[in-house]
Amino acid sequence: MLSPPLSLYIHLPWCVRKCPYCDFNSHPALETVDYPGYTDALLDDLTGELPLVAGRTVETIFFGGGTPSLFPPGEIGRLIKGIESRLPCSKDLEVTLEANPGTADQDRFVGYREAGVNRLSIGVQSFNSQSLKMLERIHGPRQALDAIGRARAAGFENINLDLMFGLPGQGVEQALEDVCTALEHQPEHVSFYQLTVEPNTRFFSTPPTLPSDEAIWEMQCAGQEMLAAGGVAQYEISAFSRPRFQCRHNLNYWTFGDYLGIGAGAHGKVTHRRQSLMIERRWKMRSPSRYVASRGTARMVAGTHVLSDHDTQLEFMMNALRLRAGFTSSLFEERTGLSFSSLKERLQLAEERGFIKKDGDIIGCTELGRRYLNDLLALFV
């Protein structure tokens, strides 16, 4: 049986300042960051992971953060060359880098493109100055628009725009104005997702006043309709794209593919096919300074965990049920090593409650299931 597709996630943990809603492993760059030293640590980290994926080809690379656009293009280029010298890479390798409109000038965008980045994800969040102020973003509407223009001028033909809705003080009309503005700039991809207040964030300790659930639902439905009318079709709960521009990296997550995670706090998932299929989760040391200090040693790996059959079922469903196209029984068995019959009772209960539907061998969420996804997933817990 073939191994799942393989991706590589690279975590660049620094940002100008931490946003009040952010629960990622990110750290303000209060002092001069040793970018070359961190690049060296990343390449040592990758070298240590190579025995896990010997002979396998990387299909996608994703630079996430933090704010990856703080990194000098030269270091991004050195990383990509270092990856290509260590691992076989697909001829049509997708390389995504997240960029903050407030941290990337024209030269940087040109540098990233020359380094091998071919997909840019711009963290706009909103084009409304008041909303950006409430989110404590370091950019304004003009900078967001300029960033899109600079990315096009640098030669990027695959651009994602991040948009959030359900923001403090936001009305339905404001949310739709953001979608309209995004569509005017013809992005290949839009991530349109609701602000959620996560533990260990400033918004959690000091909650802002958010729109009502009814208003948020109206924003979501109307925004999805507007995106579809603009030629950007929904293929996952919060992901929308033009034809042939779905994010292959994220699709690999949602279809339960494998990925290496390198960098401070990065997580990975690797399928081992020995006498029986075994799925291992791995994660790295969270502290950037301790991560770099541990370079070249086993201490970079903070922990590992082999999924139980029940963990595997739940994680597969948490990912695959996000996809609008659904999933097949053969994909479940191929990616988990489990019999599809092990899901039978839970799927039957979900179908009785109107959360899922079957179309031949394809299982997917109904509109009710998408709206109450957490209730649906609870059936598999």
Q: If you write DSSP's letter for every residue of 323-359 in order, what string do you get?
A: BTT-EEHHHHHHHH-S-GGGGHHHHHHHHHTTSEEEE
Q: In what order do the strands lie in the sheet with 362-365?
A: 327-328, 362-365, 356-359
Please, which residues have CB within 8 angstroms of residue 307's CB and are 6 or more apart in sequence? 279, 280, 281, 315
Q: What is the pLDDT of residue 102?
A: 85
Q: 3-class DSSP state for residue 244?
A: coil
Measured between alpha carbons, how far apart are the two ends of the chain, in Å? 28
Half-sphere exposure of 175 (CA within 13 A, CB side): 28
> pLDDT-derived band of residue 233, with 50, 70 and 90 as boundaries?
very high
DSSP 151: H
Is residue 195 classed as helix, strand or coil in its secondary structure?
coil
| Residue ranges in the chain assigned as alpha helix (H) | 35-49, 73-86, 106-115, 129-134, 141-153, 172-184, 202-205, 213-229, 248-254, 288-293, 309-320, 329-336, 344-352, 367-371, 373-378
pLDDT by residue (tens digit) across 86-106? 999 999 999 999 999 988 788
Each residue's pLDDT tens digit, 338-367: 999 999 999 999 999 999 999 989 999 999
pTM, 2 dp: 0.96
Confidence band of 1 (pLDDT split at 50, 70, 90): low
Query: Looking at residue 275, what is its pLDDT?
Result: 62
Bridge partners of residue 63, in order along the sequence: 10, 97
Are 149 and 199 spatial neighbours (Cβ–Cβ below 8 Å)? Answer: no
Dihedral (C-alpha) 166, 254, 46, 81: value to the nearest 10 degrees?
A: -80
Per the listing, tokens 């073939």 go with 2
